[in-house]
Amino acid sequence: NAGVTQTPKFQVLKTGQSMTLQCAQDMNHEYMSWYRQDPGMGLRLIHYSVGAGITDQGEVPNGYNVSRSTTEDFPLRLLSAAPSQTSVYFCASSQGLAGYQETQYFGPGTRLLVL
Amino acid sequence: AQTVTQSQPEMSVQEAETVTLSCTYDTSESNYYLFWYKQPPSRQMILVIRQEAYKQQNATENRFSVNFQKAAKSFSLKISDSQLGDTAMYFCAFMKRYGGATNKLIFGTGTLLAVQP
């Protein structure tokens, strides 16, 4: 049981490039989400999914796309990278929605640098 | 909207001593959860302890315990017998219970704890 895994661990991009951050979980969790962590600001929710085929926007969705074709995977796509997207990105998952099995487990993070 | 405030950016404690990290929050909700997450230098986010707002009893997990004051909207973390491995950034987080389609966690800005030998 690997829990929540993320790849890559570190990535450098040039402004305007696109890339996909991968997230996978092997716990059969319904709920998955993406957060970004910036200095002095804690973690902020980008997008989330309550199950395969269902996604929605969080607090800071601009510049990012997501899809959820399977229960296990929840990739985050940067369409045209900007320096403001330099951050550490965390994927998280939980078994169900708030009020049920809602404790969230985090992946190890992806550090992204946009030049 | 909910907010979480951690007013101590940095703290230091001697090994084997006790330290308390502060957290206050603002919400109009009556049903919610509060969490403390630990982020060591590896950057992994690790759940330390969880408190359900409807429970009056304070949560404990080994050396970690909380002081939950619902009326005051305060949720402090006490670490007893501090160990070098406790050195990390600690985040307080809030989540609405029965919050609909989102399990959104609202985080504070963190407290960097250094345990000194």
Residue A93's pLDDT band, with cuts at 50, 70 and 90, is: very high
Res B99: pLDDT: 56
Tokens read off for A9? 């661990």
What's the confidence (pLDDT) of residue B82?
A: 97
What pLDDT shows up at residue B7? 95
End-to-end CA distance of chain B: 41
- Residue B5: strand, helix, or coil: strand
The C-alpha angle with vertex B24 and arms to B30 and B38, in degrees rounded to 5, equals: 105
Mean pLDDT of A2-10: 93
User: Which one is predicted more confidently, B41 or A14?
Assistant: A14
Per run of 10 residues, the mean pLDDT along chain B (length 117 residues) is 92 97 94 92 90 90 96 97 96 81 83 96
Stretch A72-97: mean pLDDT: 93
Report the residue of A23, A89, A106, A110 to disrupt the B interface, i.e. the one with the largest count of B CBs within 10 Å.
A106
Instruction: Say whether B44 and A109 touch across the interface (CB within 8 A).
Output: yes
Mean pLDDT of chain A: 91
B43–A108: do the CB atoms touch at under 8 Å? Answer: yes
pLDDT tens figures, A26-65: 999 988 999 999 987 789 999 999 889 999 999 899 999 9
Residues of B in contact with A102 (CB under 8 A): 33, 95, 97, 103
Q: What pLDDT is stored for residue A97 in this prediction?
A: 58
Q: State the pLDDT at residue A100.
A: 55
Phi, psi of B84 (to 5 degrees): -55, -35
HSE (side-chain half, CA atoms, 13 Å) at B53: 22
The answer to whether B49 faces chain A, any CB pair under 8 Å, is no
pLDDT (0 to 100) of residue B29: 87
Q: What is the pLDDT of residue B97?
A: 76
